[in-house]
Structure 1
C-alpha cells in the first residue's frame, strides 16, 4: 500500500518491514514523533515471521515455523504492547532408528534409544563414558562428540547438519551446534527460556499494531532503490543484505536457503508434536505442524516440509572463518557511512533469534535517540 508523502518528506527511510525495521519504525514514530517511511520488496509486512491463513483456513507461517522465546523481560514487555500471548512450549522429536525420540537429547532419548533404564545421575556417567576427548573445540563436530560421543553424534547431528548446511559438521564453526543443550533429566522442551509464548492472534496482527502509528507510512512490493531518489528523507535504516547494499563489490556473502513445501491433510493431527526432525532420512530436515504452535482448532491440519538449498532467499549465514572475514570488509564500509544505520540479521550477517533482533533494534533506537536529542540541542531557530 502506498500513502501520500508530505512535502517535507521523512525523517527516516527504513528498508525492510521485519522485526528490526518495524521495531525501529514504531520507536522512532511514537517516542521521537519522527516521520517514517518503511519500504519492503515483499507484498506483506512482518518479514520471515509473517503469518496468514491458507486456503483451508489454517493459520500458517509461510517461511517456516517461528517460535517465540526469550529470557529478556524488556523484549517481552515491549512486544506485549502490541499483542496478547498464548503460552506455548515447543517440543521436537527426531526420527532415529525407527523411533521418534526427544531432541535435545535427554534421559528419555538415551533410555529409549538403547533400551536402558538409567537415572539422571547414571546418564551423566553414560555421557562421560562415551564422550571423546577434544583438546580444542573448534568445529561443530568437536562440540557434539566431546559432550555425547560419536554414536549419538552420528544418529542425531551429522546427517541433519550436512543437509542443513551442505557441509560436514567438521567443516563448520562450533557455534552451529553449541546452542543445542544436552539434558540429564526428562525435560523435553526444545527451549528453556523464561518467556515462551506465541502472539495470540498471530505475528502479522502484532506487526500491524506496531506499525499503526499515524507517523508511519508503509510501502510494500517496492525496492527501496526505486524510490530513494524521489522521496526526501534524512536518514536511512537498512535491514536488507549488507552485500547487496554495496552491490556485492567484494563478492556475495554465503547463505543457506530453504524451500518450504506446504501441505494440508484431512485429519485433525498429523504428528505428535510441533516439529519432527529427520536427521538421516529424506531430503527434508523437518516437518512442522502449525496447529500445535498456534493452538488453532480445525478439522484439518497444515504442515510444512523444509528442504535446505544453496540458492534462494538468504536465511542462514554460513558460519565459517572466511565468511566472517568477507563480512568484515562490508562492515567497514557500512561503519564509514554516516547517513545509513545497518541493523538486523541480513545487514549484520548474523543468525539472530527473533528476540535478539528486537533487542538489537531497541539498542539501535537508543543510539539514534541520543543523536536526535543531541542534534535538537545544537539546532538554532530557523534550522
Structure 2
C-alpha cells in the first residue's frame, strides 16, 4: 500500500506512530480517538495548580533501541531522568529492585557484593521447571524477600497470587548484588522535555493527518483502503469468543502545599493500604514549582483496560482472536491492547514502526 486513505483507531503511541509514518509515506490518514485528548495513557497535562501530571499514572521512558530514540527525537527534546523506586517495608523505605542496600538495611547486615551473592544463594529455593511468577521470585530471592516485597504487591496489582501468574511477569524484575538503585538500566533513560502531549502534537502535525477526538470507531465506517486498529482485539470482534481479561486502575490525584512529598519518583506499598504505589510527578518532569502533585494507584477489575493479564488460559483465548485477525488483510492490529501484550512504550513504538513499514512495502521491515 504505497498510498491511499487509512483509518487509524486510537491516538496513543501505536496509533500516532503509525499515523505519522503512513502520512510521511504518502497516505491520507484519519485518526479516531474516543477520548477527548491524544496521547493515550501517556497523555500528560497541567493540573489546576499548574503542575504537570500524568492522569493515567506515571510513564517513564527507557530503551536500548537507538532506532526508537532517533525516531521520537524528531518530535521532542529530552530531559535525562533515571527512575528510582523505594518500597515501604516494616517502617523502612528500601530500594527496589532488591540490591545490596536493600538486604543490608532490611536485615541489619554489612555485606559486600560477594556476601550478598552468598546470602541470596543461601535463601533461594530451587524451582524446576520455572512455570509461574512465584517460581521466578523464590528462585531469585527466596521466601522471606518474596513475601515482604512481591507477594502482597502482586495480589493488589493483579488480583492474583504469584503462583497464578505466568513467569514472564516476575522475570521483568532484576535482583542486584551491588548498590545500583535505578529501576531501569537501559542505555537511554529520559523524559520528553516539554511533556508527552506536546510530543504527540508534533507527531500528528502533518498535512495528511486529520485527528478526530471523542470519536468512537464503527466497523465499516468511511471509505478507507486500510484500518490500523490499536484498541482491544476482543472488542473488534464483538467478544465472539468471550472477553479477554484486563486489569484496570483507579487513580487518586492530590495536590499538596509542600514543595516535595517523597525523596524519589515512586514509593511502593506492598503490604500496607489498598493502593500499590504513590508517584510524585515533579521528580519525573523536573518541573520547578512551589507545591507538588501526587497520585495513588488502586488496581481493580472494572474500568478501562490497562494491563493484559498474563495467564496461559488468557493467552490461549487471545490466540483464537489472533487467528481471526490474521484473516483480515484490510486491518492491521498493533499495540498493547490489540496484541494483548505488556509492551513498554519503546516496544510499542518499535512494533508500530515495523507495522507501518510493512504497509508501505518497505523491504527493511
TM over 0.5: yes
Could you give the per-residue CA deviations for residues 186-231 of structure 1, whole angstroms, max 9, x where no partner exists? 00000000000000000000000000010000000010118x53x3
Q: Give the match's secondary structure for 1:182.
A: coil
Q: Say if 1:14 and 1:39, in contact at 8 Å, map to a contact too.
A: yes
Q: For residue 137 of structure 1, what is the aligned residue in structure 2?
A: 130
Q: For residue 240 of structure 1, what is the aligned residue in structure 2?
A: 231
Q: For residue 11 of structure 1, what is the aligned residue in structure 2?
A: 5
1:10 CA drift (Å)? 5.9
| Partner residue of 1:220 out of 213, 224, 233 | 213
Q: For residue 63 of structure 2, what is the aligned residue in structure 1?
A: 70
**1:52 equivalenced with 2:39 (yes/no):** no
Q: For residue 292 of structure 2, what is the aligned residue in structure 1?
A: 301
Q: For residue 301 of structure 2, what is the aligned residue in structure 1?
A: 310
Q: Say if 1:14 and 1:25, in contact at 8 Å, map to a contact too.
A: yes
Distance 1:348 1:47 in 2: 16
Output the TM-score relative to the length of structure 2. Answer: 0.97
Select the structure of larger CA radius of gyration.
1
**1:37 equivalenced with 2:22 (yes/no):** no
Distance 2:61 2:32 in 1: 25
Q: Say if 1:10 and 1:232, in contact at 8 Å, map to a contact too.
A: no
Could you give the per-residue CA deviations for residues 264-306 of structure 1, whole angstroms, max 9, x where no partner exists? 0000000010000000000000000000000001011000000
The count of residues paired between Structure 1 and Structure 2 equals 361
Q: For residue 380 of structure 1, what is the aligned residue in structure 2?
A: none
Q: Say if 1:10 and 1:37, in contact at 8 Å, map to a contact too.
A: no
Could you give the per-residue CA deviations for residues 14-55 of structure 1, whole angstroms, max 9, x where no partner exists? 00000011001101111x211000001000000000000000
Q: For residue 153 of structure 1, what is the aligned residue in structure 2?
A: 146
**1:22 equivalenced with 2:16 (yes/no):** yes
Distance 2:70 2:90 in 1: 43
Q: Cα RMSD (Å) of the superposition?
A: 1.2
1:65 CA drift (Å)? 0.2
1:371 CA drift (Å)? 7.6
Distance 1:252 1:268 in 2: 44
Q: For residue 256 of structure 1, what is the aligned residue in structure 2?
A: 247
Could you give the per-residue CA deviations for residues 311-368 of structure 1, whole angstroms, max 9, x where no partner exists? 1100111111110110011000000011111010100100100000000001111211
Q: Say if 1:256 and 1:317, in contact at 8 Å, map to a contact too.
A: yes
Q: How does 1:1-383 map to 2 (within 5 A)?
A: 11-30=5-24, 32-225=25-218, 228-229=220-221, 231-370=222-361
